[in-house]
Amino acid sequence: MAAKPLNIAMLSLHSSPMGSLGTRWNGGMSVVLTATARELARRGHRVDVFTHRGDSRLPEVVFLGPGVRLVHLSAGPPGPASPLALFDARQDLARALDAFRVRCGVHYHLVHSHYWVSGVVGLRIAIRWGVPHLITFHTLAAVKDATQAAPPEPALRRDQETALARRCQLLLAPTPVEAGHLVDLYGADPGRIALVPCGVDLQRFHPVGQALARRRLGLAPRGRRLLFVGRLDPMKGLERLLDALALLDPPTPDLAVVGGDGPASDARQRLASAIRDRGLHARVDLVGRIPPEKLRFHYSAADAVVVPSVYESFGLVLLEALACGTPVVATPVGAAPGLITSPEAGRVSGDTSAPSLALGIRAVLDAPSMPSPLAIRPLVRPLAWGRVTTALESAYRETLGNRTPRG
Ligand code: UDP
């Protein structure tokens, strides 16, 4: 007999899946959430994704696809709100969530929270409903702080993450490294951690051929080109990449930077001055945000994609680049050490420093021949969203099978 379809409440309070990818609060988490919600719905489950209504003009409910509703909760600050402001509004958010459930008469079988602040509200609501609570943290304050690449996170966040790591029925970790952090830094029970990697949309991200991609983007057919894709966040290590670029001997590559909140944003201004300070303005192209459906041209136009992050829970850009057949030079964080295991896939640098990155870049650019995109792409086939969602679905079923409510 086929298993009963589930009603799933997903929480993504501080970041709406409708937001623009590559901006301050919107990145990989929205991609993961939307892709898994849609896949789960394709298998007959019903998914409601709850987010904070950051704009009063948005309707309460938006369909993200058949069987997937995005519900805007009118509680907390009326405009865009930081995770801390949402934490302060946790009781109102939980009340609004419960009121929606009552109005719709839905019985949710489980709550799956994304990021710590959603976890705080998710745990409350799951206890009230008497259902399991699962969490994907996406990033961990303790690991982020250890990098010292940005001002420390508020102590409150780490305390809340610790409580969640000990009280949720299941913690979903995308890599064994994150599972280790949960156990070592947060005291989580290893028996309540499930490994569910992130995935990639293989239809959207595929090789288009470098010559065609460059023509399409109006770029010169020749010349070495590196690509960075992501939010302009200190964790992404962009300044170290600029330092690495400055260290490279001729023939020197150019660098395209895709992502960010627009030319007026603080992060973009800081980046522009870091580029000027290093005398790199002629070699760095600040492309700005590119919608995901156009990114394959940027990935295919590059000779190598660089992921210079000082911390990454997983790193979707790595998967997308490999799916487009472009080698990656990455720091040894997130999914990189597990995925870049052959010279065709690129290089993992020895550490996160600029000289190590420069060595990795040089090794890829100076390879006797460019690897064929068709040799690179198969590396990520096992991470198609369909397969990843099968792992997630099993984790849900198992948790529902061994329910011991934790109050
Ligand atoms: N992204 C995008 N357009 C941009 C910049 C980024 O669509 O201009 C997407 C990118 O393709 C990836 C996501 O944003 O899917 C970033 O995810 P990643 O895991 O690399 O980083 P995170 O934002 O989670 O730190």
> How many whole angstroms separate alpha carbon 147 and alpha carbon 81?
26
Q: Tokens 């980046």 correspond to what residue?
A: 271
> How many whole angstroms separate alpha carbon 180 and alpha carbon 343?
27
What is the identity of the amino acid at 99? A
Q: What residue's CA is closest to ligand 1, atom 6?
A: 22
Q: What is the DSSP letter of 200?
A: B
* pLDDT for residue 21: 87
Residues of the chain with pLDDT > 70, as a percent, come to 98
* pLDDT for residue 241: 98
Q: What is the C-alpha radius of gyration for the chain, rounded to an integer number of angstroms?
A: 21
* pLDDT for residue 250: 86
Question: How far is ligand 1, taken at its centre, from the CA of residue 247, in Å?
Answer: 27
> How many whole angstroms separate alpha carbon 279 and alpha carbon 215?
28
Asked if pLDDT for residue 12 goes beyond 80, the answer is yes
Q: Are 81 and 54 in contact (CB under 8 A)?
A: yes
Q: Is 292 in the pocket of ligand 1 (CB under 6 A)?
A: yes
Ligand 1: atom nearest CA of 307 is 20
More confident residue, 369 or 69: 69
Number of CB atoms found within 10 A of residue 372's CB: 11
Q: Where are the domains of the chain?
A: 7-199+385-399, 210-382
- Span 3-15, average pLDDT: 96
Q: Is 257 in the pocket of ligand 1 (CB under 6 A)?
A: no
Predicted confidence (pLDDT) per residue in 170-189, tens digit: 999 999 999 999 999 999 99
The class that CATH gives domain 7-199+385-399 is alpha beta
Q: What is the DSSP letter of 17?
A: T
- Span 32-57, average pLDDT: 97
pTM metric for this prediction: 0.96
Selecting from 3.30.70.1350, 3.40.50.2000, 3.40.50.150, 1.10.490.10, what CATH number does the domain 210-382 have? 3.40.50.2000
Question: How far is ligand 1, taken at its centre, from the CA of residue 191, in Å?
Answer: 31
Phi, psi dihedrals of residue 150, rounded to the nearest 5°: -150, 165
> How many whole angstroms separate alpha carbon 346 and alpha carbon 89?
45
> How many whole angstroms separate alpha carbon 63 and alpha carbon 82?
25
Question: How far is ligand 1, taken at its centre, from the CA of residue 273, in Å?
Answer: 23
Q: Are 311 and 327 in contact (CB under 8 A)?
A: no
Q: Are 331 and 349 in contact (CB under 8 A)?
A: yes
Q: Are 9 and 73 in contact (CB under 8 A)?
A: no
Predicted confidence (pLDDT) per residue in 139-148, tens digit: 999 999 999 9
Look at 56-60, 214-218, 254-258 and tell me which has the smallest mean pLDDT: 56-60
Asked if pLDDT for residue 383 goes beyond 90, the answer is yes
Do 7-199+385-399 and 210-382 have matching folds?
Answer: yes
Predicted confidence (pLDDT) per residue in 284-341, tens digit: 999 999 999 999 999 999 999 999 999 999 999 999 999 999 999 999 999 999 999 9
Q: Are 302 and 226 in contact (CB under 8 A)?
A: yes
Helix, strand, coil % (nearest 5) of the chain?
Answer: 45, 15, 40
* pLDDT for residue 41: 98
Residues 255-277: b if buried by 16+ CB within 10 A, e if exposed: bbbbbbbeeeeebbeebeeebee
* pLDDT for residue 407: 39
- Span 75-89, average pLDDT: 96
> How many whole angstroms separate alpha carbon 35 and alpha carbon 136?
15
> How many whole angstroms separate alpha carbon 133 and alpha carbon 166?
12
Structure tokens at 236: 């992404």
* pLDDT for residue 1: 54
Nearest Cα residue to 238 out of 212, 259, 208: 259
Question: How far is ligand 1, taken at its centre, from the CA of residue 343, in Å?
Answer: 24
Q: Is 28 in the pocket of ligand 1 (CB under 6 A)?
A: yes
> How many whole angstroms separate alpha carbon 176 and alpha carbon 182?
10
Q: Which of 229, 232, 296 to mutate to test the pocket of ligand 1 (most atoms within 8 A of CB)?
A: 229
Structure tokens at 291: 């919608």
Residues of the chain with pLDDT > 90, as a percent, come to 93
Predicted confidence (pLDDT) per residue in 113-140, tens digit: 999 999 999 999 999 999 999 999 999 9
Q: Is 231 in the pocket of ligand 1 (CB under 6 A)?
A: yes
Q: Is 328 in the pocket of ligand 1 (CB under 6 A)?
A: no
Q: Within 130-265, where are the H helices?
A: 141-147, 155-167, 176-186, 210-217, 238-247
* pLDDT for residue 36: 98
